């Protein structure tokens, strides 16, 4: 089996759709010898900011000298980005070997009418657990896929659980209120594992109730630990951290957007709790780890003069953070927006949020069967801001070229929306540098 064949098999499973529940992943892992039990975990759930928080935590642990596994989704450039140890993605050869090991067991479970076909995410998660068991990292930073309670990653017993923001997403699966979604996200809270969160509002009572039930402490950003932004520009940010047990001033991060300060603070609080489980994190490691953290595709500056910035904002909360960050961080004359989102997103609310920033907009189509029709989006744009210049370029390279033609040196080209769009646009921009 070649790498392309292995990848084609993994992606072919997507045709069976999504089917929540832990029965299939548990059965698959049992056939594999329960590789997930071989590692220690920091489990990270929430709506937005999971990947950035995971990246901050992994970087700090690595700087402290630990061997760190990192599991995230979706990938930005290539499939192997999804699982890594100390910043090195799984090799293609290793992935093929694992697929050859897992494939017949997946087929065995699929043939069992009591279980049915494992989903693509379940299979990928099983591959990741096998990879980490073989690589034997000191700890794995594990990002939840969807929800929490019934997510395939929720078979682990973590040392610490971290929950980022909570907002409405995947309402057809998780529920149509913040409280309902918080209950699903709270599924990663386990006995013996303290919880840190940056969530507020209606989600907090839900988390408090579950933590009381599980007998674990809950630590909240803004109540038990704090982050205060000191300065920011288009190269990074400085903030102060008042933590659970330690305080640090003048911490530097390279990721842009005020919300990244909160993500970094959440990772720091999780790190403080990991210290109680034997993971020593000296101040120098924390500082260096935060400063070195990179998370491509999130307010990433690809070029200057004009600025070209990409951001994988995929829901309303993410677009709200993006708009705030653009206003605070960048200085420009005009903003040329390239936008492509998926059809299951709140297009009207997203456009109402982002259009006031734009001087012109180019609508394009992400490389996904769930992509929103740019012509339908154009009608929404016209209903919100009839005078805004709006064009359609169905192909992403053509949309980027058109934006660059429109932009003067003192302007900003913002490419935002689905990570499918951001991934392709990022690759194209780098190819024409």
**Domains located in the chain, CATH noted:** 3-292 (3.40.1190.10), 300-431 (3.90.190.20)
- Report pLDDT digits (tens) over 277-296: 999 999 999 999 999 999 99
Q: Residue 64's pLDDT is what?
A: 98
Low-confidence ranges of the chain (pLDDT < 70): 15-18, 168-175
**CA-CA distances (angstroms) from residue 162 to 33, 230, 401?**
27, 24, 40
How far apart CA 14 and CA 168 sit, in angstroms, is 24
Q: What is the pLDDT, as a whole number, of residue 317? A: 87
The pLDDT value given to residue 175? 61
Lookup: tokens for 252: 């530097």
Phi, psi for residue 302 in degrees, rounded to 5: -90, -30
pLDDT at 172: 59
Rounded Cα–Cα distance for residues 96 and 100 (Å): 6
Q: Is 417 within 8 Å of 366 (Cβ atoms)?
A: yes
CA distance 190 to 110: 29
What number of other Cβ atoms are within 10 A of residue 157's Cβ?
A: 13
CA-CA distance, 318 to 313, in Å (whole number)?
5
Q: Which residues have C-beta within 8 Å of that of residue 292, sequence separation ≥ 6?
A: 59, 63, 254
Sheet holding 68-71, edge to edge: 88-89, 83-85, 68-71, 139-143, 41-45, 160-163, 195-197, 218-220
pLDDT at residue 74, as a whole number? 84
- What's the pTM value of the predicted model, to 2 decimals? 0.93
């Amino acid at each position: 089996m070649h790498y392309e064949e292995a990848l084609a098999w993994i992606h072919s499973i997507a045709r069976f759709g999504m089917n929540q529940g832990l029965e299939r992943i548990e059965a698959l892992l049992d056939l594999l010898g329960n590789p997930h039990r071989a590692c220690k975990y920091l489990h990270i759930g929430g709506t937005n900011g999971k990947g950035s928080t995971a990246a901050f935590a992994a970087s700090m642990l690595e700087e402290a000298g630990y061997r760190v596994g990192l599991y995230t989704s979706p990938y930005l450039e290539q499939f192997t980005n999804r699982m890594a140890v100390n910043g090195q993605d799984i090799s293609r050869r290793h992935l093929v070997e694992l697929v050859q090991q897992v494939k017949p067991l997946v087929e065995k479970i699929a043939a069992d009418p009591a279980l049915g076909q494992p989903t693509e995410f379940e299979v990928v998660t099983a591959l990741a657990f096998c990879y980490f068991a073989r690589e034997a990292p000191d700890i794995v930073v594990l990002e939840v896929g969807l929800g929490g309670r019934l997510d395939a990653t929720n078979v682990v017993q973590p040392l610490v659980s971290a929950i980022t923001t909570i907002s409405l997403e995947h309402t057809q699966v998780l529920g149509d209120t913040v409280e309902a979604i918080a209950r699903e996200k709270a599924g990663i809270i386990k006995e013996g594992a303290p919880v840190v969160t940056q969530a507020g509002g209606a989600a907090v009572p839900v988390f408090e109730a579950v933590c009381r039930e599980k007998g674990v402490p809950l630590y909240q950003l803004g109540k038990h630990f704090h982050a205060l932004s000191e300065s920011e520009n288009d190269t990074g940010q400085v903030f102060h951290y008042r933590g659970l047990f330690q305080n640090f001033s003048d911490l530097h991060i390279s990721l842009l957007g005020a919300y990244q300060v909160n993500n970094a603070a959440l990772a720091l609080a999780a790190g403080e709790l990991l210290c109680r489980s034997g993971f020593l994190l000296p101040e120098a490691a924390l500082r260096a780890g935060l400063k070195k953290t990179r998370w491509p595709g999130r307010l990433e500056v690809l070029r200057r003069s004009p600025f070209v910035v990409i951001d994988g904002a995929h829901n309303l909360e993410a677009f709200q953070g993006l708009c705030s960050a653009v206003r605070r961080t960048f200085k420009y004359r005009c903003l040329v927006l390239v936008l492509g989102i998926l059809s299951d997103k709140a297009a009207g609310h997203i456009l109402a949020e982002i259009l006031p920033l734009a001087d012109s907009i180019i609508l394009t189509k992400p490389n996904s069967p769930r992509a929103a029709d740019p012509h339908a989006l154009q009608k929404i744009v016209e209903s919100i801001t009839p005078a805004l210049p709006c064009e359609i370029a169905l192909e992403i390279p053509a949309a980027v070229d058109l934006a660059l033609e429109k932009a003067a040196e003192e302007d900003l080209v913002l490419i935002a929306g689905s990570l499918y769009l951001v991934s392709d646009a990022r690759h194209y921009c780098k190819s024409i540098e």
